[in-house]
């Protein structure tokens, strides 16, 4: 098991670029295809803590499920937003790279470099 994990969508160019930066730097990361194996609510809460962001900050606001689920409603709690991401993993911003107790979003992909030092 690697000390790095990437929550990856191979159809996403930013996700592919982030993975390539890891490979180019000699990092063999565990790859989680999160659309096939979505994280649980508990796992998402752990990721959010490592990222240091709110559930709302992890939402992909351009997805149809965001609009269809009325997720722009600011009265929704983090737990409600997390439940929406568990039910519809396309809502999760990607890629997420984790190393130990830290994580970064690969937007831009170069953000991953902060985990390599």
Tokens representing residue 92 in the block: 């999760």
Question: What's residue 71's pLDDT?
Answer: 98
pLDDT of 117 above 90: no
Domain-by-domain residue ranges, the chain? Answer: 4-116
Task: With cut-offs at 50, 70 and 90, classify the pLDDT of residue 1.
Answer: confident
| Gap between the Cα atoms of 15 and 32, Å rounded | 12
pLDDT 10s digits, 54-106: 999 999 999 999 999 999 999 999 999 999 999 999 999 999 999 999 999 99
Q: What is the pTM of this model?
A: 0.95
Q: What residues contact residue 22 under an 8 Å CB cut-off, 6+ apart?
A: 4, 6, 29, 97, 112
pLDDT of res. 2: 83
Looking at per-residue pLDDT, the higher value among 60 and 2 belongs to 60
Fold exhibited by the domain 4-116:
Glutaredoxin (3.40.30)
Tens-place pLDDT, residues 22-33: 999 999 999 999
Average pLDDT over residues 44-60: 98
The catalytically annotated residue of 5, 12, 17, 53 is 12
Note the pLDDT of residue 39: 97
Does the active-site annotation cover 66?
no
Q: Please state, in angstroms and rounded to a whole number, the distance separating the CA atoms of residues 82 and 24.
A: 33
CA dihedral sign of residues 61, 67, 73, 79: negative
């Amino acid at each position: 098991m690697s000390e790095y994990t990437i929550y990856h969508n191979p159809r996403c160019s930013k996700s592919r670029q982030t993975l390539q930066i890891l490979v180019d730097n000699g990092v063999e990361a565990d790859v989680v295809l999160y659309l096939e194996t979505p994280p649980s609510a508990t796992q998402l809460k752990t990721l959010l803590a490592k990222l240091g962001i709110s559930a709302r900050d992890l939402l992909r606001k351009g997805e149809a499920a965001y609009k269809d689920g009325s997720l722009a409603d600011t009265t929704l709690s983090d737990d409600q937003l997390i439940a929406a991401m568990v039910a519809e993993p396309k809502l999760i911003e990607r890629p997420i790279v984790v190393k130990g107790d830290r994580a970064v979003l690969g937007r831009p992909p170069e953000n991953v470099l902060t985990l390599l030092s």
